[in-house]
Structure 1
């Protein structure tokens, strides 16, 4: 029991250390929540009693794995006399854009029953080859260990081949097929891979043609539905935003459907990708 408690404490410390309040408002909420709790000498259970949540929920809030609501934070602001600090930070965090919170995004992706993905600039991670992913990481300069990042990305793709895979709908803006990421050989391998994966019964790949006009979304838009929740994730450049508010999710869902309405059918999309491959020979 003592060893288990020690391991849990080590895991909690690692989670807290991974937070970056300088680049994520939600991380700032988590850090401030823990700071206020410790300053007032409260346990996670005491916080949960006031915030109408379980002790484990509070622990997850402080580690940045889950997000408290305004209803959770308001009684804590009152109890700690913080002049609405926590609720104000959370309100700004809902509307703000953070650097991509990979952990939170991947948690949803791992359990999603359906994933709808639109991308205007690159092949989505679930469809990337290792060479293509490596070229992206080298170009982007956002990771220190490229080999590890590529391995992690390839591991994510294993879900597509499991016994209960997610339904995956992908819409690629036509320029995604043109960008020479990593050179001609890498792009050829990447497009061939997209064609192979698109043959899976639970995967749909379509192309949004440039002739359809500006789609209204830059970067990528991902809509994921799990058994208990639905979220949207928007990413452009090095900035990302995870959305869990139903009104916003409905708006993004409409945007995705509008894009899909103008995308080419699957067979025409496949023909276009094959045509691009022919130009690379």
Structure 2
């Protein structure tokens, strides 16, 4: 079995999980659900955090021999994210990883930038940027005390493609890349890695898909090297790499999973 050196020089098996604890925000459905199930299958204890009830996913994991817990969280509220982190530590004693998957997306309305309201702008930043920052802030003390942690933030292919009529959303996802890089500089001395995962469009929410022009999804598929729709499972390998020990010397990076739609 190959091994790698961790930040303090001890040998660490890159494939060994050892009951590590990962929080997945927005874990109750869609991409978050796929992450939670994959993490549990890989041997992680998973805190499925969501503003909606995530108990169905938690039950699915526990019934199949995994370990999961449900945590209610509003990522835009400091008291709620603080409670999330404390609840996980009270139950399992540690936090090894955080996947900031929760986002304001499916209810976003596309419109020209000069028609956006202040409320539409603010809610996008409250959830996508402030929410990411607050979740990072909430887990940081526990990762710092252990001298290790993995944070995976979520950006999007809308940043390099500069999708029009989506300015508020594109701006938040651009901010996540800068947040990740700056945060990686601050927390690296504590053995904490911070990276960004940037998916392409994944039509995982039927309500959102129904509101879109069919031509949008078709056009995106044609721009990819792999000419098919993207699925939540397409993100799992990259997520497990970033949250696991095989990426212990990777931080401040942005990894695109886009089927070859663009090279950045």
TM-score between both structures, scaled by the size of structure 1: 0.28
Q: Which has the higher Rg, Structure 1 or Structure 2?
A: 1
TM-score (norm 2): 0.30
Question: Normalized per residue, which structure has more helix?
Answer: 1
